[in-house]
Amino acid sequence: MSAPAKKIELTPPQILVIGFAAIILTGAVLLMLPVASANGTPLRFLDALFTATSATCVTGLVVVDTGTYFSTFGQIVIILLIQIGGLGFMTMSTVFAFMLKKRISLKERLILQEAMNQGSMEGIVRLIRKVIRYSLTIEFIAAVIFSIRWSIDLGPARGIYYGIFHAISFFNNAGFDLFGSVTGPFSSLTHYADDVIVNFVAMALIVLGGIGFVVISDLLEFKRNKRLSLHSKVVLSATGTLILVGAIVIFVFEFSNTKTVGSLSWYGKLLASFTQSVSPRTAGINTVDLASLRQATQFFIIILMFIGASPGSTGGGIKTTTFTTLIGAMIAMIRGKEDIVFFHQRLGKDRILKAITLTMIALFLVITVTMLLSTTESHSFLVILFEVTSAFGTVGLSLGLTPDLTDFGKVLIALTMFAGRLGPLTLAYALGPKTEKELYRYPEGKITIG
């Protein structure tokens, strides 16, 4: 009598990886259909896979211009992938469970905990309900404002369609846009560099999508609770500081550059500087020609893209809390302090180790992919580093390399986007061996550091 087959038990990180991969493959198949392209020509599988990965991982790097190459069907497939990828496929699955009045199992709660980057399962279903409610409300309000604004330029029907598409794309921090059919392929929002409504609504969507749903919930309940969590305080202070510092640096570096902000009025210079500072939060929109930026500005944007958005959001990068923890550790070490303290609260050692681990894995990934692409792509090192960091941070900003990528380069960038969306640690847990509790500890030793 043969032994019964052993049941394969997948961990929450493994389920997330498989789930995202399945959505990407489904999206790629749909984008390959002749009906998905404007001229009826089927898109190559690799290009369709790249586009589906970019949409599901809410990045925005594209090998073909979204507004001119894809038909309405193809664009709708892309925006659905962005919505599913931004909120997370487990969140969308939970929506259907709510609609069918189905109970959320313990395993599903564990997967949701992993997907939302939460420390515990407590209140996870309640958080998902808030995520859905907040997301749809914010997207609806933005879609109405965008629709009114663009109806003036494009007519009511097209204006409403563009309003809905870009509200979803920007809130989910994806860099996809349709303005290639209006102002030329790969033009993004360069035609609206000094438009107050478009810039402010776009920035608001990017920031709200990038600070995370836990922080949004904290802010909305502040009037009742009269307090913010430590997480929310760190995220808001870090986000505000990075946006302000980023805008100042871009304004100073590009002030006299007539190819970017130099040709704009003082007001336009400030608006463009803030938009370009907010966008590397992983949104991927630009109102000036990025390829014309000075190299110092391009490198600074690379740093902003690497930091990225905040935990539990639609964005990527190492996250603002990780960056803040590293800065706090550096300051504490310089001052000879043992603890990292934020807002009169001490961080646990496990938080510090996780921040260091995440940053080192991210650095290793970006450096490795950049080195490999430097041997296959005929572009400068800075352009390649910019593109790789944009892919890892799921940003979508580009200096023009992506459409020229070799097939090998497309595969590498697609894998980098996938790793960036799931998070390096989640991917490592999914692919690594099952951890077991150590039964003993080695004696402590000392080495010289520095």
pLDDT digits (tens, 9 = 90+) for 273-324: 999 999 998 888 899 999 999 999 999 999 999 999 888 777 788 999 999 9
CA proximity to 423, closest of 365, 368, 384, 352:
365
Percent of all residues in the chain with a pLDDT value above 90, rounded to a whole number? 52
CA max distance for the chain: 83
Instruction: Residue 330: count other Cβ atoms within 10 Å of its Cβ.
Output: 11
Q: Look-up: residue for tokens 């990180």?
A: 13
Instruction: Residue 430: count other Cβ atoms within 10 Å of its Cβ.
Output: 18
Side-chain half-sphere CA neighbours of 104 within 13 A:
23
CA proximity to 58, closest of 168, 179, 201, 186:
168
| Range among 97-101, 107-111, 333-337 rated most confident | 333-337
**Range 41-57 average pLDDT:** 93
Residue 117 predicted with pLDDT over 80: no
Residue 298 tokens read as 């391009």
For residue 279, the one-letter residue type is: S
Distance CA 239, CA 319 (A): 10
User: Can you point out the beta strands (E) in 213-289?
Assistant: none
Contact present, 282 and 175 (Cβ < 8 Å): no
The model's confidence at residue 388, banded by pLDDT at 50, 70 and 90, is very high
Residue 1: per-residue pLDDT: 46
**Range 176-199 average pLDDT:** 90
Residue 303: per-residue pLDDT: 95
Distance CA 450, CA 390 (A): 32
Residue 111: per-residue pLDDT: 55
pLDDT digits 0-9 by tens, 312-362: 777 788 999 999 999 999 998 888 888 888 888 888 888 888 889 889 999
Residue 449: per-residue pLDDT: 63
